A and B are shown apart, each in its own frame.
Chain A
Amino acid sequence: MKTREVTMLVGLAAMLAAVFLLSLALGSTPVPLRHVLMTLIGTSPAPDTAAIIVETIRLPRSVTAMLAGAALGIAGLQMQTLFRNPLADPFALGISSGASLGVALVVLGTGYGPATAFGTAMGIRGDALVTMAAIVGAAAVLGLVLIISSWITSPTTVLILGLMFGYAVSAVVTVLIGASQPERLQQWAQWGFGSFSGVTWQRLQLFGPLTFLGVLIASGTTKQLNALLLGERYARSMGLAVRRARWLTLLGASLLGAVVTAFCGPISFLGIAVPHLCRGLLGTSDHRPLVPAVVLMGSIVALVAQIVSTVPGNAGVLPLNAVTSLMGAPVVVLVLLRSRHGAFAG
């Protein structure tokens, strides 16, 4: 790796640490950074309110944000390289629509939802149910697309297939919405906003290992992704078993996207934006520096989005999904305009 790339990675890591601490300090009740550090180290004098807020609410939320951001970032990078398409993201195979169908069936059909999640026994059950529904929905669509795509040679056709599945499933969700009661719609909308706060320590015990392992496995595909930079034919001529690599990468990236969606709701845009940011920052398409950069940058962007979403303070929170898009869109446009050819131009 070049010195410039190493410097960038070290810089990103430092930035992540800073943003992480900030995310613990900022919120509706600001906590001084000194208190945050003391709580983290475990030397907090007495279990005061601030320590409890940091420990039980903000810490799991920030860890979730980091893991989700890293997962979406690396999955987005995999999809963009695999499809050689700058618009591909972890949900390219329609899994986010699949997840939303699962959730729509549960929330609109039964009235259980994430809005009832806090406190009551019923709420926790409802929350777990929503996660289950999202996973089942995403897995069903993913399975179908993967099975059909194993007969397809062209990556572009696979991409279109995923897009069409997404449209069809979204249409079904719209039909469900049209036929449901207004108070359930409110809960449905709540899920669609996306949130890192729904993942408690207890749920993190499942979410944490799943995403962490997923990111680790995805990092192992660095070499294959590099071979795919020149297209599938060249990749094959250099010794890559292309079909298998494609299938496994699609599966891994989609599962990461599905898990994040199931626990945090649909977090759009992060998966598209982060790889572009990193390519622009590092000035290379080589995945060896790009993969660690995307993991760090994904965590940073997710944490920043989390911080921004709490800006209204006591007045509530901004929808996370809106924050990621509002933040990300201008940045990506800027990066694309600045690179002289456009990120994927011939």
Chain B
Amino acid sequence: MTGAALRTVDLAVGYRARGSQRAVLEHVNLAARSGELVCLLGPNGIGKSTLLRTLAKMQPPLWGAVQLGGDDLRSISPGELARRVGVVLTERVAVEALSVRRLVELGRYPHSGWFGLLTESDRRVVDWAIEAVGVRHLAARDFSRLSDGERQRVMIARALAQEPRLLVLDEPTAFLDVPSRVELMGLLRRLTRDAGLAVVVSTHDLELALRTADVVWLALPGGELVTGAPEDVVLSGGVSLAFEARQIRFDPEARTFRLLTGDVGEAVVSGSGVRAALAGAVLEREGYAVVPASDACTLSVHAHESGWNALADGVEGSGPDFRSLAVFLRGRRAMT
């Protein structure tokens, strides 16, 4: 497959109310290729969900066009669209007394006949979808008794059962704990590789997205969209623009956020490996900037196997764990 599975041409998304239009994102020109995992990022309320709903034809564009495999979205019938695009939403699905398998079978809706009876090939697709998201051991279970992470996997299996070429997911990780989030993103990534799907997913989990996505679409305040590989987007400074606030800074090298807790002074850390790094983290949280060895520095901390030693303005301290280090640092700050 060549070319874009999904393309937008000068798209504007937003709302129509009483004759007036309010665009949230304008001049949107995006493309997602088959086999690519695209993460849509941006601050809350910027219009990520609106954009995704427009891409899935759940809401009309204000102007411009969405193209699916070269066809204008407006010319695609609901049934045909369901065979091309699978959707997973943030909302928790409240359905009682429905087995996982039956729920995934619902995904055959656009393929099955008038009464919804399934053929042998339908069943094979359902089997494949259940297998692909790794929930075969749950197939006979009641959907309502699954954990949030398992539910999202099942909802993805249902979308896969539609045999789409494009998967659109609106914050599927919103209710999940950290391991489930990582697993879910891993699953989406695998689907792009194994099934050749194009996957567009919006998420709040910036750090995870930057590590797993092939392409990032980053919506900036003001409605501009920066696109590219995660590294391109980091280099462009877009991430800082979109998310930084008074108390928080994005560290491009570590690709993580740092909490700014104050400006107490500088500190030197010595010690080996992970202990030194963790001692640095304690210092940072207490408002110190960790610097390489220097003479001007008034605080030095050494982390070793049985705890830590510190020297601050001639005052010595030591302790067995990081908790006591933090207490020592706070006590020192209270004195000055």
Which A residues form the contact surface with B (CB < 8 A)?
Answer: 84, 220, 222-223, 226-227, 229-231, 233-234, 236-241, 279, 283-286, 288, 339, 341-346
Evaluate contact between B110 and A238: CB separation under 8 angstroms. Answer: yes
Determine the distance from Cα of A237 to Cα of B92 in the docked complex, in whole angstroms. 16
* A285-B107 in contact (CB<8A): no
User: Is the pair A339, B97 in contact by a Cβ cutoff of 8 Å?
Assistant: yes
One of B76-84, B258-266, B289-297 contacting the partner: B76-84
Segment among B67-75, B111-119, B178-186, B223-231 that sits at the interface with chain A: B111-119
A233 touches B58 (CB 8 A): yes
> Which residue of chain A is the closest to B159 with respect to CB atoms?
A237
Interface magnitude class on chain B? 20 to 34
B binding-site residues for A, Cβ under 8 Å = 56, 58, 78-79, 81-83, 85-87, 89, 91-99, 102-103, 106-107, 109-110, 112, 114-117, 144, 159, 162
Question: Is B81 touching A239 in the complex (CB atoms < 8 A)?
Answer: yes
Residue of B nearest to A235 (CB): B109
Nearest residue (CB) in B for A229 is B95
A223 to B82, CA, bound (A): 15
- Min CB–CB distance B22 → chain A (angstroms): 17
Do residues A226 and B116 form an inter-chain contact, with CB atoms below 8 A? yes
| Complex Cα–Cα for A236 and B87 (A) | 10
Whether A239 pairs with B116 at a CB distance below 8 angstroms is no
Report A-chain residues with C-beta under 8 Å of the C-beta of B106. Answer: 226-227, 229-230, 238
> Of A222, A230, A279, which is in contact with the most chain B CB atoms at under 10 Å from its CB?
A230
Tell me the complex Cα distance, A84–B94, Å. Answer: 9
| CB-based contact A230/B93 at 8 Å | yes
Contact of B109 among A239, A284, A342 (CB under 8 A): A239
In whole Å, how far is B237's beta carbon from the nearest beta carbon of chain A? 36
Minimal Cβ-Cβ distance residue in A for B164: A237
Q: If the complex has contacts A222-B115, A223-B116, A239-B78, are A234 and B96 also in contact, measured as CB distance less than 8 A?
A: no
What 16 additional pairs, Cβ within 8 angstroms, besides A233-B58, A237-B87, A339-B96? A223-B109, A223-B116, A226-B106, A226-B109, A227-B106, A229-B106, A231-B91, A233-B87, A239-B78, A239-B109, A284-B99, A285-B95, A285-B98, A288-B117, A343-B96, A344-B96
In the bound assembly, the distance between CA atoms of A283 and B141 in angstroms comes to 12
The answer to whether B94 touches A345 (Cβ under 8 A) is yes
Q: A222-B116, A223-B109, A226-B116 are in contact. Are A240 and B94 (CB under 8 A)?
A: no
A119 to B9, CA, bound (A): 75
- Sorted from nearest, which 9 A-B pairs have the closest CB atoms? A239-B82, A223-B116, A237-B87, A239-B110, A346-B94, A238-B109, A239-B79, A285-B97, A285-B98
Contact A345:B58 (CB < 8 A) given known A223-B115, A234-B87, A236-B78: no
Please list 20 pairs of residues, one from A and one from B, whose beta carbons are closer than 8 Å in the complex, sorted by A's number: A84-B94, A223-B109, A223-B115, A230-B93, A234-B87, A237-B58, A238-B82, A238-B106, A239-B83, A239-B109, A239-B110, A241-B78, A284-B97, A284-B98, A284-B99, A284-B102, A285-B96, A286-B98, A339-B97, A346-B144
Nearest CB of B to A245, in Å: 11
Residues of A within 8 A of B97 (CB): 279, 283-285, 339, 343
Complex interface: chain B residues within 8 A of A229 (CB): 95, 98, 106
User: Is the beta-carbon distance between B86 and A237 smaller than 8 angstroms?
Assistant: yes
Instruction: Write out the residue numbers on chain B whose beta carbons fall within 8 Å of the beta carbon of A343.
Output: 96-97
In angstroms, how far is the closest chain B Cβ from the Cβ of A220? 7
| Contact, CB under 8 Å: B109 / A227 | yes
- B83 partner residues in chain A, CB cutoff 8 A: 239
Residues of chain A with a CB closer than 8 A to B107's CB: 238
Q: In the assembled complex, how far is the CB of residue B228 from the closest CB belonging to chain A, in whole angstroms?
A: 29
